[in-house]
């Protein structure tokens, strides 16, 4: 399993609208092959700053399976206009630890 992580800089005036759009958009990733789970985390120190964590079986499940799917076009339509600037998306593999408690 790999972790997709991105810090999302959302226009502060639009955070409520963004969270409502994300609540709709999250059903798009949850249905994809290789999807293992996700969290949208809101920064306590900086308004408009979010951390998106998505767990996939492989990088290909994210970059090929999801990003080349019709679901990704809908994901973009729902979410990408809230970001300024557009976020850097990276992938990670577990080095140590690994217990991730549910909220």
Q: List interacting residues with a copy of itself (CB under 8 A).
A: 1-3, 5, 19, 22-23, 26, 36-46, 49-51, 53, 55, 59, 90-103
- Please say which residue, 1 or 11, places its beta carbon nearer to a copy of itself: 1
- Please say which residue, 13 or 44, places its beta carbon nearer to a copy of itself: 44
The residue written with tokens 């979410």 in the block is 79
Q: How far is CA 50 from CA 8, 40, 41, 53, 94, in A?
A: 5, 7, 5, 10, 21
> Which residues is 4 bridged to in the sheet?
54, 91
For residue 55, the 8-state DSSP code is: E
- Please say which residue, 60 or 73, places its beta carbon nearer to a copy of itself: 60
């Amino acid at each position: 399993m790999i972790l997709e992580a991105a810090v999302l800089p959302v226009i502060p005036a639009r955070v409520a609208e963004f969270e409502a759009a994300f609540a709709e958009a999250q059903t798009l990733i949850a249905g994809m092959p290789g999807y293992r789970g996700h969290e949208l985390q809101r920064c306590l120190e900086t308004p408009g700053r979010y951390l998106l964590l998505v767990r996939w079986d492989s990088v290909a499940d994210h970059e090929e399976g999801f990003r080349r799917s019709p679901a990704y076009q809908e994901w973009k339509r729902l979410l990408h206009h809230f970001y300024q600037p557009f976020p850097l998306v990276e992938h990670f593999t577990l080095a140590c630890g690994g217990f991730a408690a549910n909220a």
